[in-house]
Structure 1
């Protein structure tokens, strides 16, 4: 667009739309929000080649998609306050947490939204009233269709069973208990300035955990400092961010969270990549005392490959530091990189989250 304004196409209840919107605000990039309906979603899919949200249209008319790729590209190419540490070790740990928060907290965020009756009724009506507003169907019918689709895709097809559900619900509580003492002592995860890890965490915390009735009540009672951080990041001022020092390191009080993410997230990424390499359609692994069966995700094969490439680029001392801080599962990062799937296969269906 000729006036220098970006266009963000998505939904105000979407995990990854919220992540990208917060980053654009913190960077001070002028943008207008375009709430998708079904016709808009199809138009963005035609423009980007991928049916997912959000989609970002540059002032020059270029379409971008996938929040991780967008943030890394804009960080490198668009002027503004840096939102990633310069120190290689801190930068790697920030990117590791961003990936974990994107892909690992995805499951509890969707679980709390669609497994609890009150939350599912509320969010299905909100999706029916926004994304599906251009469909000439009764509201009740649209909401029921949304609820059925979401519970099928994000619960039953994502490995949620009577055996696994308690561990998914518990993960949210564990993460809050690790985050609360950290964010009670400083404004952002790494220090005075937000980094990629903050924006990765924001997607689940802002548009799911702090908004949906059941997890929001837990958040208010169990982790008020995390709740305050959510508002702080949403209200981050580019000038104040630019005046704050970039974090030189990942503080040691993040280690329990890093180790939890490594134990769960890296183990799942490894099982997924191994299954994909063997030509399997289902990955099997044990976590939280229960056995999991998940459809193999080419996108997550690429996530692990990206982390392994970034880990290999670190110096010897930094690699040893990462392994020491993440624990035994960190050895997965040193394994040979699996061949990357085609870019088109990398894209997760992030509709209606």
Structure 2
């Protein structure tokens, strides 16, 4: 039995839980709100963040991408990685974009406006202190709100960057809304790791007040797709041989936004700089350097250069030359 410690307000927790459900792996979902338990678990991982997955053999891991990869290594049935080598790489890239860029949409909308700050601060506090009194919940909710709004510039969620974050989010909304009605999932009639990654981020937007209203108006079928993907243990399906329109559209968005963002971050880190600026979607974007995202680019480059010639030719046909050059290093 797997034991997954997470939270409803954590996109990565819901991503991993949905993967476990789809793969029909016996597990228990446990709210990560007991300090003693979480202290024991965090002592066994590099960074004290959720979700934390305790494996049946006692292994403890966190960070959703390596968690999903480890589940792939241990279990062959109902894989979330497409069989086709080129599509598997595309799924890895789109998962990475959801985890590292899509989360900006969640953070921006959750902590930008008062209505979202107040509700989500209180709800996240409730998840931790439910049953311990309204005063304690709302006091911690205000403290947590202040802490999170104070971190917005650190993760790039500034007024200057808001147009890029919002425009890229709306593009993804549009692509996935059409996919929900016309194609099912990004790589066929069964979900991939990329579907689960976007589900994780957008599950939060479907809940928080302002992005909920935006999604309902702009992408109503995406909203319903998100509700369904929370548990697709009953879904049977096939990988599609030809790329879906949604996959190609998200790869285009990755080439336009995510890969230039990663490249600028890595170049600034290489020069020992603390911040970087780059033009994305014709707009200025700047933030502090993130070492973790330097590693993300390195991993994408390793995966890309490791492709067979045939698979690389297919990937190169899906991405513009500049994006391929960024991946090639």
Establish whether TM, by shorter chain, passes 0.5.
Answer: yes
In 2, Cα distance between equivalents of 1:164 and 1:299: 20
Q: Could you tell me which of 261, 264, 285 is aligned with 1:292?
A: 285
Q: Which structure 2 residues correspond to residues 79-94 of structure 1 after superposition, within 5 A? A: 79-94=76-91
- Residue in structure 1 matched with residue 199 of structure 2 by the alignment: 202
SS at match of 1:50: coil
In 1, Cα distance between equivalents of 2:233 and 2:159: 44
For the Cα contact (< 8 Å) 1:90–1:249, is it kept in 2?
no
In 2, Cα distance between equivalents of 1:129 and 1:237: 29
Q: 1:173 to 1:73 in 2, by over 3 A?
A: same
Q: Could you tell me which of 316, 319, 323 is aligned with 1:329?
A: 323
SS at match of 2:61: strand
Q: Could you tell me which of 58, 62, 66 is aligned with 2:55?
A: 58
Q: Which structure 2 residues correspond to residues 247-266 of structure 1 after superposition, within 5 A? A: 247-266=240-259
SS at match of 1:142: helix
Q: Within the alignment, does 1:314 sit opposite 2:312 as a pair?
A: no
Q: Within the alignment, does 1:225 sit opposite 2:218 as a pair?
A: no
SS at match of 1:184: helix
Offset, 1:253: 4.8
Q: Within the alignment, does 1:8 sit opposite 2:7 as a pair?
A: no
- Residue in structure 1 matched with residue 138 of structure 2 by the alignment: 140
* TM-score normalized with structure 2 length: 0.92
Offset, 1:62: 0.9
For the Cα contact (< 8 Å) 1:125–1:139, is it kept in 2?
yes
For the Cα contact (< 8 Å) 2:81–2:193, is it kept in 1?
yes
Q: 1:12 to 1:161 in 2, by over 3 A?
A: closer
In 2, Cα distance between equivalents of 1:325 and 1:303: 20
- Residue in structure 2 matched with residue 269 of structure 1 by the alignment: 262
For the Cα contact (< 8 Å) 2:179–2:245, is it kept in 1?
no
Deviation digits for residues 112-162 of structure 1 (CA, Å, limit 9, x no counterpart): 111121111111001222225699973332111100111111x22222333
For the Cα contact (< 8 Å) 1:38–1:134, is it kept in 2?
no
Offset, 1:249: 4.1
In 2, Cα distance between equivalents of 1:120 and 1:41: 25
Deviation digits for residues 230-256 of structure 1 (CA, Å, limit 9, x no counterpart): 123223125x43xx2233343245322
Q: Within the alignment, does 1:156 sit opposite 2:153 as a pair?
A: yes
Q: Could you tell me which of 257, 282, 290 is aligned with 2:275?
A: 282
- Residue in structure 1 matched with residue 14 of structure 2 by the alignment: 18
Q: Could you tell me which of 17, 24, 28 is aligned with 1:28?
A: 24
SS at match of 2:128: coil
Unaligned runs of 5+ in 1: 336-353
In 1, Cα distance between equivalents of 2:246 and 2:104: 25
Offset, 1:274: 1.1
Q: Which moved more, 1:12-21 or 1:182-191?
A: 182-191
Q: Which moved more, 1:306-315 or 1:19-28?
A: 306-315
SS at match of 1:9: strand
Q: Which moved more, 1:140-149 or 1:249-258?
A: 249-258
Q: Within the alignment, does 1:170 sit opposite 2:167 as a pair?
A: yes
In 1, Cα distance between equivalents of 2:216 and 2:265: 35
In 1, Cα distance between equivalents of 2:28 and 2:228: 21
